[in-house]
A and B are shown apart, each in its own frame.
Chain A
Amino acid sequence: MPLDGAARRAFEAVLDPQDVLSDPVRCRVYECDGLTGHRVVPELVLLPRTAEQVAAAVRVCAEHEVPFVARGAGTGLSGGALPVADGVVIGLNRLNRILEVDPVDRRAVVEPGVTNLDVTRAVAQYGLYYAPDPSSQQVCTIGGNVAENSGGAHCLKYGFTTNHVLAVEVVLPDGSTVTLGSDTGEQQGPDLRGLFLGSEGTLGIVTKVTVRLLRTPETVRTLLADFPSVAAAGEVVSDVVAAGIVPAAVEMMDALAIEAAEEAVHAGYTIGTPAALVVELDGPAEECGSTFEQVRRICEAHGCTRLHIAGSAEERAAIWRGRKAAFAAVGRISPDYFVQDGVVPRTRLAETLDRIAAMSRSAGLRVANVFHAGDGNLHPLVLYDGAAGETARAEELTSAIAELCVEMGGSLSGEHGIGTDKACSMPKMFSRDDLAVMARVRDAWDPQGICNPGKVLPTPRLCGEPGKYRPHPLEEAGVIERL
């Protein structure tokens, strides 16, 4: 049902009319997020300037049963911020104030539209930083990070967004405002804060976030090592972990990803090497040095063909520039690409990559791999040419890879979320009852079903009627039982 005039007038009454966009040309800017294959032009885009305005706008939505979708920077890769037909987009970019920095209690209170990197920038003068560091950190917003429970290269040691958010102020789907969590992160009763984190904008809109800050580590040591095979690099990761070492980050890239990144940013990676590892350790000086030496020996024991240790902050930055540029750089070697985000148990990395290579060959599409090896979070990049009619095939391969990860005992998504993209794959990972309980929880927060509807949980409209039940791979392996 298209928006009626009464709802439009109500939005214009609670916001400055110039903050209500209805011109289709201007609304088109909001038609998609980072999953650009899915587009819906919203009826209206609301750009509130304060938390009170967000609440007022949501109250109008509730009163008129208008579906709404919160949006930060629109860098999400799973279609979480994809507009809903006949609904409104509520853009949070203008709520971009840093409300408080407290260097003594090591925390900051920020509005949701503040970018991830701006939090660290605002606190760096105190020797502090905000740990979760998605590669998109220059542009993605804290509100988006909260919604996606975003990770980053350093979450192996430091954890994800949920481990760094003490409290969030949330406008519920009925327009009322509540605080989840507290000054210590403790919650009296169930951890509603934790449930909200990673709920992909389906339980409410974040209007204020209290984040924990960490002290910048005293020592950081980074190496870049080349290996004759992905399997050899994978063994290094296993041995490092088995030695009881918790690196700050362990990232892997394969030949295709290295080629793309190197051509784009000239960061000093070796073109032609089958695999490269970036390993970073941080901590107190006494400890970091000797542990780093241990990692170096493990690399050598697995036939490392080149080992480059960052000798300066600039060299370290260059290594990371290469790694972080990989996604975008792939755009140079292929007209289009999909990013995958499945997770497998670390011990099954090599096997999974072999399977992906075989799937890539039989689909006739190239797949570049760049990923968080320490926690098994893959980011296969499926390269295709939409103009050559390869889109459907690429989409199929992408879904097949996500489902392969589930088959390996892993997950559909490590950090990018389910959104629109993977909602229909959810039954591969969760049973009907699992999903029904999640739906009951969602209904408790959003009984009208107006808060980012159609995302995360599969719907018949989106996915067709559910197929016949197939046993979960872990069930077949005897790890879980279905009654």
Chain B
Amino acid sequence: MLHPTDLKELRDAVLDSSGTLGIAGAGTAADWAGPLGPVDAVLDTTGLAGIVVHNPGDMTVAVRAGTPLRQLQEELAPHHQRVSLDAARVAEGATVGGLVATGDAGPCGLAFGSMRDLVIGVTLVLADGTVARSGGHVIKNVAGYDLAKLLHGSYGTLAVIAEVVLRLHPVPEREATLAVSCSLTEAAELARAVLAGPHEAVALEWLGTTPDAGTLLVRLNGTAAAMDARLDRLRPVLPGAVDGDDRWAEHAAIVRGGPGDAVLRIGVRPSKLPGVLTALPARAITAGLGTGIATVVLDAQDVAAAHETVAAAGGTSVLRRRPAGASVSAWGPPPSALKVLRAVKQSLDPAGRLGPGRFDPWM
């Protein structure tokens, strides 16, 4: 186990070791995607922690990759600023670098996108010890290739993320959620009505254990002064809605899954979501009816067929929890750009040192 505490130690750790390397942050997504193959060493990033520089007036922060996002949020809170990302595993200590490497996002992705929409700069270390940066410290910047995007979703296979620069948003004065009991199909209709109106929901998620019965959660962000009036205008669109502020923990619990569960994150056109989800033998579902991104809890043996179902609907899927010991396919049919992915891997990590197995069987 290698445990660097600054950029120099990180580079030296990569240079001084030989053979294959696994990269580990807080370990909250260790059982996502393909299983890490046997490696000669594991590089633990959690020693690379803390804020490098926070510029409140510019609403940017540079942070070492092993910093838990939860901790970063606490440090930003006194400035009424935040990283607008509410992925379920943040509460468990997920690191900023890990969240980028897994391309994670939570319900408010509807308004703020995923980590790739928030990262404005990155420092990375390649398998040959090269240290490189792209982007910068300003929110608007098109100089050079955006390598942070390349690392988003790379699962530790292309480079070690050492540092990221993030754009921040103001913490809204008030967040409020309305909850309505309804089936998935009903929820899709309601979501359509919400989106067609002027409500500007920041999250629009249905959750349930079967498509027939569940809850639609609609979250608004805004000023304290206007929120009550906005909620009053939203209620008629969501007949029977009650206060749902405390329902998000249930949502996060489904996304995380439990022992023995296989969890799949899928994405299809929003209007196809009810159909696709109904066709899957899911034990629990969260469905982002505005984004088209959903999570399903399945039995391990149903995962392969689920990948196929999603692919047939033109969607994407990735395994986000593998039951211990089970052999479950992490990825579905390969994307058309697989050869680009392989070429990039070959160019940045020709010896195949980093993250073997994570994209198994694609590369």
Chain A interface residues toward B at CB < 8 A: 102, 104-107, 127, 148-149, 151, 155, 159-160, 162-163, 172, 176-180, 182-195, 197-199, 215, 217-219, 238, 241-242, 244-246, 283-287, 290-291, 343-347, 372, 375-377, 409-418, 422, 426, 429-431, 433-438, 440-445, 447, 456-457, 474, 479-483
Contacts and interface: CB of A to CB of B under 8 A. Distances in A.
Given A178-B340, A434-B134, 9 more contacts: A183-B267, A189-B341, A194-B116, A195-B150, A287-B223, A437-B124, A438-B132, A479-B52, A483-B131
Interface string B342-363: 0110111000000000010010
B315 to A, nearest CB: 6
B88 to A, nearest CB: 16
A190 B57 contact: no
B359 to A, nearest CB: 6
B129 to A, nearest CB: 9
A411 to B, nearest CB: 4
Interface in B190-243: 192, 195-196, 198-200, 222-223, 225-226, 229-230, 233
A457 B144 CA distance: 7
Interface in B314-350: 314-318, 331-332, 335-337, 339-341, 343-344, 346-348
A286 B359 contact: no
Interface string B252-294: 0000000000000001111100000000000000000001110
Given A191-B150, A284-B199, A411 B117 contact: no
A436 B132 contact: yes
Contacts of A483: 7-8, 11, 131
Contacts of A376: 58, 138-140
A417 B149 CA distance: 17
Contacts of B154: 189-190
A346 B57 contact: yes
Contacts, number: 280
25 contacts: A102-B269, A105-B271, A149-B146, A179-B335, A182-B316, A188-B335, A191-B103, A215-B198, A284-B230, A343-B138, A347-B58, A375-B139, A376-B140, A377-B140, A409-B136, A410-B141, A411-B141, A411-B142, A413-B143, A415-B140, A429-B136, A430-B133, A440-B347, A445-B344, A447-B343
Chain B interface category by residue count:
35 or more
A377 B267 CA distance: 34
Interface string B130-162: 111110111111111111011111110010000
A287 B226 contact: yes
A184 B55 contact: no
A411 B271 contact: no
Nearest to B228: A286
Contact of B136 (A105, A215, A411, A422): A411
Given A346-B58, A479-B62, A159 B117 contact: yes
A197 B141 CA distance: 12
Contacts of A127: 196
